Amino acid sequence: MPKLNQILAIEKGIKTRVYADFTELHQATQKPALMNGFHKAYQPRDEDGETYPSESQKVQHNATEVLEKVAAGLTELFDITAIKDYANCTARADVVVDGRALIKDVPATYLLFLEKQLSDLHTFVAKMAELDPGSDWNVDPGTGLFKTEPTATQRTKKLQRPIVLYDATEHHPAQTQLITEDVIAGQWVTIKYSGAIPAPRKKQLLNRIEKLTNAVKFAREQANGVETTEQKVGRHVFDYLFGT
């Protein structure tokens, strides 16, 4: 008998073909025109009367034959699926990371689940916001967040003051003009906080996820190398369902 991984390789193709045939027959047998037919011949009343060609419509599908085709196709699908599912009951392997069995004796079906979850987790971590590399961060023990050292930014305001363009003389008054100046009014002291993930930590997590994913894939292939046993469940099902 073939190994489980060989059964898995052909199962999808069989399922696609059988379901396509099943759907085609299902649609055809709902149409009375394809299930019924007739033959009619014209008989003139007199020997020298007009004659007309015969007319007929062939029956396209016979219910008995249709059910036989359905049974044959589904029996093949039932049997290949039974071989896979029965083998899955014994298909197990250890998930080994860095020479250590992280999870022991894992069923092949659960390994598939793990692989999908790790793929989703990789996407989740990869899209997490990272700490701004343009700032220096330290962990704040009080909040558990990252924070920067305080930075001061001056705040200015505009003030107008007069300047003398021309001093007063005996004949003319002094000429002045208002000018606007920016003067320091105070300062903003800013401390940044962040709950984002540091880039090195993100890289570490992604590396671990990828390493475990590879270990799970290896274990799945190992588990799927189990020998299968022949299963003939489909015949019993359809002997009962469609038997006379």
What pLDDT, on a 0 to 100 scale, did the predictor assign at position 79? 96
Query: Is the same domain home to 183 and 79?
Result: no
Q: DSSP secondary-structure letter at 74?
A: H
Query: Is the same domain home to 120 and 157?
Result: no
Query: Is the same domain home to 125 and 20?
Result: no
Residue 135 lies in a domain: yes
Query: Is the same domain home to 100 and 202?
Result: yes
Residue 120 lies in a domain: yes
Q: Which ranges in 55-198 belong to alpha helices (H)? A: 63-88, 108-126
Query: Is the same domain home to 103 and 169?
Result: no
Q: Report whether pLDDT(1) > 80.
A: no
Query: Is the same domain home to 125 and 33?
Result: no
Rg (CA), the chain: 42
What pLDDT, on a 0 to 100 scale, did the predictor assign at position 179? 86
Query: Is the same domain home to 124 and 23?
Result: no
Global pTM? 0.70
pLDDT band for 217, please (50, 70, 90 cuts).
Answer: very high
Q: DSSP secondary-structure letter at 227?
A: B
Query: Is the same domain home to 122 and 181?
Result: no
Cα distance between residue 26 and residue 70, in whole Å: 9
Query: Tens digits of per-residue pLDDT, 86-99?
Result: 999 999 999 999 99
Query: Is the same domain home to 228 and 156?
Result: no
Structural domain that includes position 79:
1-91+224-244
Residue 203 lies in a domain: yes
Query: Is the same domain home to 108 and 64?
Result: no
Cα distance between residue 85 and residue 117, in whole Å: 22
What pLDDT, on a 0 to 100 scale, did the predictor assign at position 2? 87
Query: Is the same domain home to 114 and 81?
Result: no
Residue 103 lies in a domain: yes
Task: Compute, in degrees rounded to 10, the torsion defined by CA atoms 163, 169, 172, 173.
Answer: 40
How many CB atoms are closer than 10 A to CB 215?
Answer: 21
Shortest CA distance to 31 belongs to which of 11, 59, 67?
A: 59
Residue 170 lies in a domain: yes
Query: Is the same domain home to 99 and 6?
Result: no
Shortest CA distance to 5 belongs to which of 152, 189, 218, 193?
A: 218
Residue 145 lies in a domain: no
Shortest CA distance to 14 belongs to which of 68, 65, 66, 78?
A: 78
> What is the mean predicted confidence (pLDDT) over 44-65?
90
Residue 210 lies in a domain: yes
Query: Tens digits of per-residue pLDDT, 55-75?
Result: 999 999 999 999 999 999 999
Q: Report whether pLDDT(170) > 90.
A: no
Total tally of structural domains belonging to the chain: 3
Angle, helix 199-223 to helix 108-126, in steps of 10 degrees:
160
Spatial contact of 218 and 101, defined as CB atoms under 8 Å apart: no
Spatial contact of 238 and 75, defined as CB atoms under 8 Å apart: yes
Residue 185 lies in a domain: yes
Chain centroid to Cα 194, Å, comes to 31
Residue with tokens 């105070």: 186
55 token code pair: 């007319």
Q: Report whether pLDDT(129) > 90.
A: yes
The values of phi and psi at residue 43, to 5°, are: -120, 110
